[in-house]
Each structure stands twice: as structure tokens, then as C-alpha cells.
Amino acid sequence: MNKIYVVGIGPGAYEKMTVEAAEALKKSDMIIGYTVYVDLVKDHFPDKSFLTTPMTKEVDRCVLAFEEAKKGHVVSMICSGDAGVYGMAGLMYEVGEQYPEVELTIIPGVTAATGGAAVLGAPLIHDFCLISLSDLLTPWEKIEKRLLNAAEADFVICLYNPSSRKRHDYLAKACDLVLRYKSEDTVCGIVENIGRDGEGYRVMSLRKLRDTEVDMFTTVFIGNAQTKEIAGKMVTPRGYRDV
């Protein structure tokens, strides 16, 4: 049977790629992905063939992968982070309904929430949720409702895609919503360029987060009522009674 691996390559650094992901890429004849992600792995797999498509061409990218697999190539479709978390795994299954002769294998990777949490400290030790602020595929009204419900339930909230040129004020809008239920002193943090050149983090209050400039390469963490700062790191206690 023809084969496609859908591979989460992690935050970017080769060292943060799982062994299983690296092995899948080694087994593949061809690696396909968004241009930026292919550039992250190219140097480590110089003997492979590479095909890329730009952003917003996700369906075309999936069709390309299946067509190449039909020709007998072992293909890896790569995504940053985890292929099943805001990645390509779901779309590959949807497009794959037209290619029943091609077998899909999903290879998990380190998503920005867990990769960023490790840089920031330990913000996700208790219940948390992931919310993307991108309204390209989700109406803002639905994002707003999710933010309000998560804040009211006192989840730690991890925000993906917090800003872009067209959405420069979305993080401020999100913080204003969260502030309806969380204190302005809630411990928060941001991590920039996880696993890539320029990686850095900052811990701050929710009040300060509201006016902080971020970009698409930033992951935002908003704590719960118990989250605290310890030695410059963001930590959410699990609540072990002997501590």
C-alpha cells in the first residue's frame, strides 16, 4: 500500500523532534510542507526530495502529497508542533477519502503549548485549554465565547496565533474578555520563537500582558487563580497537600 506519514516536527529545533518523527522522515523519499517548515528540516535530510506550498494552500498541499504517494513515493507531510493540534492530520484524513489506496500514519510532535511551557517553567500543571485567536477559520464571536467560558471556569489558557499584521489588537481584545473573570494580577507569560533562534520568555501580570506586543511566533499563557511566579518562572501548582 502507498504510504504517507503526517509528521509533527515540533517547535523547530531538530533536537526537539521526536525520534519517531526523525525516523519517519528518514524512511521517506519525499518531504512536503509549508515553505517555512521545510526550511527547518532541509539541512538535516539533504538526500530527500522536497515540495512546498505557501500558506493558505493547505488543501493543495494535501492533494500533492496523495498524488506523490500514488506514484509510489513514501511521503512525509510535515507540520510544526503536533500534526493533530491545529495541524494537517484532520485535513489529510478528509482529503484522503478520495485516495483509499493510500495509508496514513500520524506521527505526534511537541506542540507549542508543551514546548513553550518547558521554557516558561510549569504553567500547565493543572487543567488548561488551548484557544487560537486566528479568525481565518473560526468566527471571532465563537472565539470570544470560548475565551469567556474558559476564563469563568478558571482554566489556565494557552493562546496560539495571538497576533498578526491584520490582527494586531487581538491579544488586547482577548485580555479584556478574560479580565471579566480573572484578576489583573493573574500571572501570565509569553514565549517567543520556541525551539528556534531568538527564543525568549517573559513572565508578567495579566494587566501588563494586555499591552504587550506579540506576533505569530509567540505563544501566550494566562494563569489560573493559583498560578504564581517562582524564581522568575511561571508555575501553576497541582495542589499536592504536603507542599
- Does residue 93 sit in the same domain as residue 121? no
- Does residue 94 sit in the same domain as residue 122? no
Tell me the C-alpha distance between 38 and 42, whole Å: 6
Tell me the C-alpha distance between 12 and 42, whole Å: 12
Tell me the C-alpha distance between 47 and 30, whole Å: 9
Amino acid identity, position 11: P
- Does residue 118 sit in the same domain as residue 228? yes
CB 102 within 8 A of CB 4: yes
C-alpha grid cell, residue 229: 511566579
Query: Tens-digit pLDDT profile for the chain (243 aa)?
Result: 699 999 999 988 899 999 999 999 999 999 999 999 999 999 999 999 999 988 788 999 999 999 999 999 999 999 999 999 999 999 999 999 999 999 999 999 999 999 999 999 999 999 999 999 999 889 999 999 999 999 999 999 999 999 988 888 999 999 999 999 999 999 999 999 998 889 999 999 999 999 999 999 999 999 999 999 999 999 999 987 766
The domain in which residue 70 lies consists of 2-107
CB atoms near residue 54 (< 10 Å): 11
- Does residue 67 sit in the same domain as residue 128? no
Q: Is residue 240 part of a domain?
A: no
Q: What pTM does this model have? A: 0.93
C-alpha grid cell, residue 64: 500533492
The domain tally of the chain equals 2
- Does residue 116 sit in the same domain as residue 231? yes
